[in-house]
Structure formats: C-alpha cells, structure tokens
Amino acid sequence: MLRKTLPSWTSQARLCRQMSVVAKSLKYTEHGEPQDVLKLVEDKLADPKDKQVLVKILAAPINPADINTIQGKYPVKPKFPAIAGNEFVGEVVCVGDQVKGLQPGAHVVPLASGLGTWTTHAVYTEDQLLAISSKVGLAEAATITVNPCTAYRMLKDFVQLSPGDTVIQNGANSAVGQAVHQLCRAWGINSVGIVRNRPEISELKQLLQGLGATAVLTEEEMRTSDLFKTGKLKRPQLALNCVGGKSATEVSRHLNDRGVMVTYGGMSREPVTVATGPLIFKDIAFRGFWMTRWSKENYSAPERKQMFQELCQLMEQEKFVAPTHEMVPLEKFKEAAAAALNFKGFTGKKFILDMSC
C-alpha cells in the first residue's frame, strides 16, 4: 500500500498553525499627526483559514498618502482602530486550506490599498496579494505598488509614446519623478525634468541624469531654454505635474500641439492654471490621475498583471532601482514619521520601516 506524502509546504503550514504569532502594529484610533496618534501595540493573530494567508512583513514605506490618511486629509477614510500604511513586501508564513497560488516562503506585495501594513505580521486573503520574485530587492519590492505604477500608467495611458519622443515633468526629483526617468530610459523616451533651484543643484542633476533623465533644468533655466526651439529634442506630447501653480503653467507652455498634461499631485497647494494661448491655439488637454482609483477599477485586469511583470523584470535586471531612501526600525516610527514630514533634502527621500530581522 502506497503512503501518500504531503508536500513540504503543507507540512510547514500545519506546523506554523501550532505556533502563536504576535504582531506588533502601529495603530491609531483618531486622526492627527502620526507621532501623536500612532501607538505600537501587540495583538495575537488567529491562524489563517480558508483563503487566508499569514504574512511576515519585511519592509513597508512611509508615503505622503499614508501621512495624509492618518491626518484625515486623504479621500480614503479608514475604520478605527486602524493600522497605518498601504505598501509592503512580505514573506508568506502559512496559508489556509483553500489557498491555491501561494506557498510559505513566497514574497508578496499588496494588490489592494488600505490593508494596514505598518505591522510585523498580518493575515490577508489570497486575492489581496501578488507573488513577486525574491530576486527583487527589499526596497524596490516594498515601494513597487504606488510610485513606479503611477509613473508606468501615466506614461502608458494618456499619450501613445514612441522611442525618441519627449516627456516633461516638474517635481522631477520626487519618487514618481525618479521612476519616470528610469522607465523613459528603458523605453527609449527622452525625459526632461524640472526642479527647484537649491545649493545642491549640481549633485541633484547628476543623480537624476544617472537614473535616465535626458536633461534636468531649474524652473528659471526652463523659462529661457532653447531645448525645444532649436530642435535638440522633440517638443513633449506629454507633461506630468505634481506641483501645480506657476510651475504647472510654465510646463504647459512647452507642450506640443494637442499635448496632454497629467496632474497627479499638488505640492504647491495652488490650482493648476493654463495660459490662454496654448490652450486655444495648441488645443492642449488637462487630465488627472489617481493610482488608487486606477487599481480599484483594474483590480484583475491583464494590464495590471503585465505592468507588475515588466516592473519586476526591470528591477531584477537592476535597470530600475528604489527611490533614494533610508531604512528605519519599526520601533523608531515616531522619528521616521516626523522626518518624512520635515525632510528638506534635495531628493525625494523615502523612509522605509524595516521589519526584516
């Protein structure tokens, strides 16, 4: 009589369920500044069942949207008590009996937002997770679902770009800006970045050009540049705006006929305005983009799967790196949150909570 041998991962899952898992999580029960309302608490997690997956979180970034959500300034409102955070990379510890596509040891990232990711362990459902290669770096994987995806979709969905075309963007040193430069380099597109002047401007230009920027100019330099007038580069058909105000107006002036400006942020807190001439005589268009909305509307779409595959491939080939960042222990969340709010460096530095140890 043949003895049926269980797969090793099934044995691991059953062994896991005999262990108690205590999660350390950053929770809040009211809106306010992160350093004031976040509390590090411990909770014992139930064993995963059915289609549930127990995940050990390895790293989770602190994004502006996370801070705004805690402050109560973001369109997404969590139910209290809430665990902060939206992005992570984690490792599957064990799975429920009905889980088919994930095994212990697999690295995963979230497909849904608002899951609560500033925690050492969490239980999610299988359809909320996406398995990615463990060859993708920790920082790259932890930050893949927001900034790189935002850059990818804006470059893909508004204008049909071809190698040799030009994209122009302000806030070119932001995390999304850094992602845009790298994707443009991978796809043969010219990437022109506009940044505010600062004492470290030479170092900043060098860093962004190293990521793939074709040209980096200050706002003052852009006003007098002949980059497009002389034909050095094609006039851009696509502009990306995360600043608003005068910066957005100036960027829109450089668009080609029937060009499109896509706004995904408003750091200046000023409205987007357009010069009347370009609006009428060039017939330029203005659009908005919110990654959270796109992800919800395309949750299971093939285009989303293709996007993650392409981004992961670039990361594995080291053709796409994480934004400038600093890894910090979970226990130092107050310092990290305060630094994320007050950071004045010349790059869009991102703080990532490190729970990998």
Residue 227 shares a structural domain with residue 271: yes
What CATH number does the domain containing 236 carry? 3.40.50.720
Q: What pLDDT is attached to residue 30?
A: 97
Is 300 part of a structural domain of the chain? no
Say yes or no: 269 and 330 in one domain.
no
The residues that are catalytic are: 74
Number of domains making up the chain? 2
pTM of the predicted model as reported, rounded to 2 decimal places: 0.92
Residues 105 and 13 in one domain: yes
Residues 159, 104 share a domain: no
Q: pLDDT category, 126, cuts 50, 70, 90?
A: very high
Q: What is the CATH number of the domain that holds 87?
A: 3.90.180.10
Same domain, 178 and 278: yes
> Is residue 301 in some structural domain?
no
pLDDT of residue 7: 44
- The string of DSSP letters for 227-275 reads TTTTTSSPPPSEEEESSEHHHHHHHHTTPPTT-EEEE---TT-EEE---
Q: Is residue 304 part of a domain?
A: no
Residues 40 and 104 in one domain: yes
Q: Is 59 within 8 Å of 355 (Cβ atoms)? A: yes
Tens-place pLDDT, residues 163-183: 999 999 999 999 999 999 999
Domain extent for 139: 8-143+323-354
- Beta bridge partners, 56, equal 91, 121
State how far the Cα of 172 lies from the Cα of 181, in Å rounded to an integer.
8
Residue 302 lies in a domain: no
Is 299 inside a domain boundary? Answer: no
Q: Same domain for 126 and 164?
A: no
What pLDDT shows up at residue 341? 77
Contact 82, 116 (CB under 8 A): yes
Contact 100, 19 (CB under 8 A): no
70 token code pair: 């805690």
Query: Given this model, what pLDDT does residue 131 score?
Result: 97
- Average pLDDT over all residues of the chain: 92
The Cα–Cα gap between 242 and 179 comes to 14
Q: Which of 292, 311, 340 marks a domain boundary?
A: 292
Alpha carbon separation from 13 to 8, 19, 98 (Å, rounded): 9, 10, 12
What average pLDDT does range 346-357 have in this prediction?
83
| Same domain, residue pair 49 and 102 | yes
Confidence of residue 1 (pLDDT cuts 50, 70, 90): very low
Q: Quote the CA–CA distance of 158 and 275 in Å, as a whole number.
A: 21
